[in-house]
Amino acid sequence: MKSYLVCIITLLTLFVGCAPKTWQKDVVTQIDYERDKLACEEEANAVGYGHNVFNICMKSKGYSFKTKRDIQQ
C-alpha cells in the first residue's frame, strides 16, 4: 500500500512538472524572442552553468516564465 501511494504521488508530481511552459514578454516579436533566446543560450554555454545562467539572462531581458494556461487567461 505504501509503495502504491509513493507511485501515485510521483506520477502526479511529474504531470504537474510537465505542464507546457514558455518565456513571455509583453511586447516582443518572434524574431526578437529568438534573438534573445539564442543570446542567452550562448551566454549560458560560455559560462557553463546551464539553465541557471539562461534563466537569469532571460529575466534580465524582461521575460517571465509562465505556463501556457497562464498566458491564455
Ramachandran category for residue 50: left, alpha or beta (phi over 0 → left; psi -120 to 50 → alpha)? left
Per-residue pLDDT of the chain (73 residues; tens, 9 = 90+): 666 555 455 544 444 455 567 888 988 999 999 999 999 999 999 987 777 899 999 999 999 988 765 655 5
DSSP labels for 8-57?
Answer: HHHHHHHHHHTS-EEEE-SS--HHHHHHHHHHHHHHHHHHT-THHHHHHH
Residue whose C-alpha cell reads 500500500 in the numeric block: 1
Confirm whether pTM is higher than 0.75. no
DSSP states of 55-71: HHHHHHTT-EEEEHHHH
pLDDT of residue 59: 95
The DSSP code for 26 is S
